[in-house]
Structure 1
Amino acid sequence: MSRERPLTAAGAVTWRRATPRPDDTSRRPVELLLVHRPRYDDWTFPKGKPDPGEDLVTTAVREVAEETGQRIRLGHPLPDTQYRVAGGPKRVSYWAARVVGRTETPFVPNREVDEVRWVRPGHARKLLSYDHDHDLLEAFLDLRDDKAHRTRTLVVLRHGKARARESWSGEDALRPLTLVGERRAEALVPILQAYGVRRVVTSPAERCAATVEPFARSIGAFLRLDDRLTEDTRRSDVRRCVDAVLDAKPPAVVCGHRPTLPWVFETLGVEAPDLAPGEGVVLHHRRGKVLASEPLGRPASPR
């Protein structure tokens, strides 16, 4: 008997700061965004199924926008929830998330959601319809209690697949991406957008700059070419580069070479993974300390 492959979906526990009240027991009061679905007459966190070929991080951001009108950026990952539906087992990936921009978009009722509410955690406990959502709420509140819901984001990325050295007669720094590498660079655009990346730092080598250039162009950002990330750099130079990126507030991506990426991870105090071309790691940090990490991108179906 074949094992059932779970249906996949993605969503977010979107939060905002709440105005303190005299009866608050928490020093960090928050409000959470819940949706009411008339088809099921339930209250839940916004989520939905991926479009064909869509990465789950992109799904989470898109579904929150479609159901609530809010543009968000993903932060610290939350535990997946698993439960059964009519079509079989279902697994939903979640992240803590914040609204992007200074003003929030007014909600317009739609086919799937007829009401949204920003509520305090205590009210959320009363409204939420499912046990798995209650578990998700408690997981978020554990983060809130440790201030881990307010992490900054750093993506560490290895450049995409480039022309082989032996087939390239020009200067190595000018060695370009292959067609596979170019396609990966384009595929990274919505994934990096989902994390709200605003700062793009890269080795000046063509294969690195070309990996993040489509994304930088999509958000109107300049590429910050940093010689401290070149393939022949020194450990101390890499450390200074990473420290400077950590000091900056906006979510950032750093694109480099396989031989020097271990020094990036060493500076961050995490074990260096063996990244294939075009792969990366999303690090969620606070005050220079990494609190969580995850692979860059979550395909809806195993590759």
Structure 2
Amino acid sequence: MSAASPVLAAGVLAWRVVDDQVLVLLVERTQHRDHSLPKGKLDPGETLPECAARELDEETGLAIALGAPLGQSEYRLPDGRDKVVYYWQARVSEEAFRAARPFEPDDEILALAWLPLREAKRRCTYEHDVAIIERFEERLAAGHAETFPIIALRHAKAANAFDWEGPDASRPLTPRGLRQAALVAPGIGAFAPERIVTSDAARCVATVEPLRRLLGVEPKASAEISQDAHEAPERDPRAEIERRIAKAVRKRRGTVLCSHAPVIPEIVTAVVHAADAAETERTHRASMLHTAEFTVLHVAAGDEPALVALETHGPREA
């Protein structure tokens, strides 16, 4: 790795409510004897959300669904390289807390501590961890600590349309596309969506197959979010997309929608409208996806829907 390449890592601000008090989780590292939020470096091929969920599981025994991103911290390592750590908030239900593996100290993590927000900030060794906790406090005060994801996923790389002799909807994924679909599935799965909706085109159905296996959620194929429906002059699929998204938001149901480049902007816009948010340059950029990229729109799970955050990820191919 060159000196100019930053070290990428991901972490989680895990929180739970005990006796009406919000507690956050800090870890004490064995070698450094410091206190910080759980985090760790990316493994080859991982997406950042996948890394965050994996590191929390490995360091604390907690298997959780990621919530909204909390931003990032950047600092210089002793060897002179820059390190960038991306963080997510994640509520730990009592069920997940009880199901966690019993913690045993090892050569990486010495102890875990669930602390009230003020005590956690006081205990943190590093100011960049304090800043992440303070961002979470702002979310908590705004009623945005709990969210659910609506995920727009563009299908992976498919056979070239100009070379394919059959109907466009029958184009299969290429070997590269199959690899892309496998690489992004764990990153999408880190948000634990409850429902998968896919265009009925072969390339979209194949893209969500690794996700189906990972989550055990059977996809629903829909012609309404296909490219054929989008291009049909006698139909307006936008109304169906708006209806589908509005229902998912109303039910607070984490949903993946796998579709095509011309349809993805309509999906993102429908989420923005359902969350009573404004269309911006950022939401526009979030809809311009390359193959196998996905945008996660985090909607507040309270009484009033609000677009809390959005983020875009893709396969980290070699």
TM-score, reference length from structure 2: 0.85
Provide the aligned length of Structure 1 versus Structure 2. 292
Counterpart for residue 306 of structure 2: 289
The answer as to 2:277 corresponding to 1:274 is no
Secondary structure at the aligned position of 1:263 is classed as helix
Secondary structure at the aligned position of 1:165 is classed as coil
**Matching residue's letter, 1:296:** H
Counterpart for residue 16 of structure 1: 16
The answer as to 2:173 corresponding to 1:208 is no
Question: Is the 1:228–1:241 Cα contact (8 Å) retained in structure 2?
Answer: no
CA gap 1:108/1:92 in 2 versus in 1, 3 angstroms: same
Question: Is the 1:78–1:93 Cα contact (8 Å) retained in structure 2?
Answer: yes
Counterpart for residue 238 of structure 2: 235
Shift, 1:297, TM fit: 4.5
Question: Is the 1:67–1:110 Cα contact (8 Å) retained in structure 2?
Answer: no
Q: Distance in 2 between matches of 1:132 and 1:166?
A: 51
- Post-superposition CA distance 1:23-75 (Å, at most 9, x none): xxxxxx31101111121111111111122232222211111111111112211
The answer as to 2:90 corresponding to 1:97 is yes
Q: Distance in 1 between matches of 2:217 and 2:51?
A: 24
Counterpart for residue 23 of structure 1: none
- Post-superposition CA distance 1:160-204 (Å, at most 9, x none): 121222322223222211112111111111111211223111111
TM-score, reference length from structure 1: 0.89
Question: Is the 1:10–1:47 Cα contact (8 Å) retained in structure 2?
Answer: yes
* 1:199 aligned to which of 195, 202, 206: 195
Shift, 1:227, TM fit: 2.5
Q: Distance in 2 between matches of 1:125 and 1:95?
A: 17
Counterpart for residue 223 of structure 1: 219
Q: Distance in 1 between matches of 2:205 and 2:305?
A: 26
Equivalent residues in 2 for 1:58-73, closer than 5 Å? 58-73=50-65
Counterpart for residue 265 of structure 2: 262
Counterpart for residue 25 of structure 1: none
Q: Distance in 2 between matches of 1:298 and 1:92?
A: 18
Q: Distance in 1 between matches of 2:132 and 2:17?
A: 19
Q: Distance in 2 between matches of 1:120 and 1:50?
A: 29
Question: Is the 2:45–2:315 Cα contact (8 Å) retained in structure 1?
Answer: no
Shift, 1:10, TM fit: 1.2
The answer as to 2:136 corresponding to 1:136 is no
The answer as to 2:252 corresponding to 1:249 is yes
CA gap 1:298/1:261 in 2 versus in 1, 3 angstroms: closer
- Post-superposition CA distance 1:190-220 (Å, at most 9, x none): 1112112231111111111111111112221
Counterpart for residue 37 of structure 1: 29
Q: Distance in 1 between matches of 2:189 and 2:269?
A: 26
Question: Is the 2:35–2:125 Cα contact (8 Å) retained in structure 1?
Answer: yes
Q: Distance in 1 between matches of 2:15 and 2:145?
A: 9
Q: Distance in 2 between matches of 1:98 and 1:297?
A: 25
Question: Is the 1:148–1:291 Cα contact (8 Å) retained in structure 2?
Answer: yes
**Matching residue's letter, 2:308:** L
Secondary structure at the aligned position of 1:167 is classed as coil
Q: Where in structure 1 are there 5+ consecutive unaligned residues?
A: 21-28
Question: Is the 2:212–2:219 Cα contact (8 Å) retained in structure 1?
Answer: yes
Counterpart for residue 55 of structure 1: 47
Q: Distance in 2 between matches of 1:260 and 1:294?
A: 18
Q: Distance in 1 between matches of 2:166 and 2:29?
A: 59
Secondary structure at the aligned position of 2:66 is classed as strand
Question: Is the 1:57–1:298 Cα contact (8 Å) retained in structure 2?
Answer: no
Counterpart for residue 117 of structure 1: 113
Q: Where in structure 2 are there 5+ consecutive unaligned residues?
A: 231-236, 273-278
Counterpart for residue 6 of structure 2: 6
**Matching residue's letter, 2:293:** E
**Matching residue's letter, 1:162:** A
What's the C-alpha RMSD, in Å, of the aligned pairs?
2.1
Q: Distance in 1 between matches of 2:34 and 2:3?
A: 30
Stretch moving more, 152-161 or 47-56: 47-56
Secondary structure at the aligned position of 1:181 is classed as helix
Shift, 1:296, TM fit: 2.3
Secondary structure at the aligned position of 2:67 is classed as strand
Q: Distance in 2 between matches of 1:220 and 1:154?
A: 18
Stretch moving more, 282-291 or 147-156: 282-291
CA gap 1:265/1:33 in 2 versus in 1, 3 angstroms: same
